[in-house]
Amino acid sequence: MDNNIISKHTDKNTPLFQLNGNTYICKIVNIVSPNIIKVVFKPYDTYIKVNIKLNNIELYNDNNLNDKAFKYLCNLLIDNYNNLDNNLIFILNNKDHIYNLNVLYFDKNGYLICDLYKNLNDNSSISDLMILSNFVKKYKNNI
């Protein structure tokens, strides 16, 4: 990187990096857990890959229930996906699973907290559908 270019940037002439409150089109490339999804999207001039955490979701301390939540999430996100013996990453990367990503904020662990929608006209986010399934619980902030 050219130091002369960065030297010209100041607090006044450089915009603050911010994603909060914006909606982007994203491609799901991996499902990490029942509340963490890896997506690719383009916030500015380049595509980035990031692990997002679904808004308002907390997992139970029950591996059996978490496995059911994972399978439920896969079925929500991937049309006609009912066989988890298939290679999940292969399926996600070889067929487009495009969603609308509503970015809310970064949490204290650095995760991007988001809501995912199949399309902008949906009233229920993927997070809402997961909570309704009872495989996960609604996150309660203890502030």
Domains of the chain with bracketed CATH: 16-137 (2.40.50.90)
Residue 46: count of CB within 10 angstroms of its CB: 6
Q: What angle do CA 72, 75, 77 make, to 5 degrees?
A: 110
How far is it, in rounded angstroms, from Cα 26 to Cα 117?
10
* Interatomic CA distance for residues 83 and 24, integer angstroms: 29
Encoded tokens for 37:
């999804």
The reported pLDDT for the residue numbered 84 is 53
> Chain-wide mean pLDDT for the chain?
88
Q: Looking at residue 143, what is its pLDDT?
A: 43
Q: From CA 2, how far away is CA 15, in angstroms rounded?
A: 19
> According to the model, what pLDDT value does residue 85 have?
56
pTM to 2 decimals? 0.84
Name which of 32, 55, 8, 26 is nearest 119 in CA terms.
26
Per-residue model confidence (pLDDT) at position 21? 83
